[in-house]
Amino acid sequence: MRILLTGGAGFIGSHVADAVRQGGDSVVLLDSLLPQAHGGGGFPAWLDGFEVVRGDVRDREVLDRVLDGVDVVCHQAAMVGHGVDPSDAPEYASINDFGTAVLLAAMYERGIKRLVLASSMVVYGEGRYHCASHGVVTPGQRREEDIEAGRFEPGCPNCGEPLESGLVPEDAPLDPRSTYAATKLAQEHLCAAWARQTGGDVWALRYHNVYGPRMPKDTPYAGVASIFRSSLERGEAPKVMEDGHQRRDFVHVSDVARANLAAIARPAPAGTCRPVNVCSGTPHTVGEMAAALAAAMDGPAPQTVGGARAGDVRHVVADPARARAELGFAADMSFEDGMVEFAKAPLRG
């Protein structure tokens, strides 16, 4: 097969590129080298030997060139992360949503019917919660006064009682809480409409908290693992918001690359955009992650500072069952081994 990999120079995309090449398929990488993720440099050295094209997924002329002979598109290109503030919204929507629309139109005109989409767990908002009296419930947005008072756990929207956090499945209600999250959900909707209209098939891989080598660092768009590591490299304690007990699913980028390979090899049901959690299946707290990195780097212990960013959710941890059943995918890298490796892994500066 020949695969077009958009965002192929990025953190996740470059690992997918490695995995595709190792699997023996032909791959062409398209990347605009957004400065938010790549700084001011060109293609990184780890892409030596790949067929690479610098171009924007919104540029139809570029797409017409790189789609020649392609069987499957693996769409990783996106503006990611929490961003700076709502003034980022036009750029997020342009790159993530308009870019996806242009790509889908070009695929349709070329007769290409298979797409693997990099989606995200952020489409869920809060994760899955259970109330002893009311069963599965969806809590509302946490109040600022509760955050300031150190009351971080959401209560039942019906009775106010404490909730138990569980694993979120793919059919959970979707409630994006940030500009980035809204654009990722819009990508899924665009792909679902395209699949219904064309008979094409899409896997929407909802990545959970991905970490590993080549993460961007020292930008407002970097992930929390990269932010903590940068602090430790400066000899500073990582600053953990809230009380550090917020639960996430940290999944190593090598496992995310394997999930993409599985999705490339196995078509989704025709006419559908099928969402799948890509996760480790083993939740850990943000505080545990900071402590594991600090120990691996022999750095200062994390400091818990309270507060929360606007749009942050308390707990979101994933149910891995669909990925195992439909893609044959399960994560290999343990949290403990992954954090030790990440402590010394090269990052994208």
Sketch the domain layout of the chain as residue ranges. 2-128+166-344, 129-165
50 pLDDT exceeds 80? yes
pLDDT confidence of 38, banded at 50, 70, 90?
low
- pLDDT tens digits for range 270-316: 999 999 999 998 999 999 999 999 999 999 999 999 999 877 899 99
Percent of the chain whose pLDDT exceeds 90:
85
Q: How many residues does this entry show for the chain?
A: 349
CATH no., domain 2-128+166-344: 3.40.50.720
Q: What is the pLDDT of residue 258?
A: 98
pLDDT confidence of 42, banded at 50, 70, 90?
confident
- pLDDT tens digits for range 189-227: 999 999 999 999 999 999 999 999 999 887 766 788 999
Return the HEC string of the chain.
CEEEEECCCCHHHHHHHHHHHHHCCEEEEEECCCHHHHCCCCCCHHHCCCEEEECCCCCHHHHHHHCCCCCEEEECCCCCCCCCCHHHHHHHHHHHHHHHHHHHHHHHHHCCCEEEEEEEHHHHCCCEEEECCCEEECCCCCCHHHHHCCCCCCECCCCCCECEEEEECCCCCCCCCCHHHHHHHHHHHHHHHHHHHHCCEEEEEEECEEECCCCECCCCCCCHHHHHHHHHHCCCCCEECCCCCCEECEEEHHHHHHHHHHHHHCCCCCCEEEEEEECCCCCEEHHHHHHHHHHHCCCCCCEECCCCCCCCCCCCEECCHHHHHHHCCCCCCCHHHHHHHHCCCCCEC
For the entire predicted model, the pTM comes to: 0.95
Higher pLDDT, 140 or 100: 100
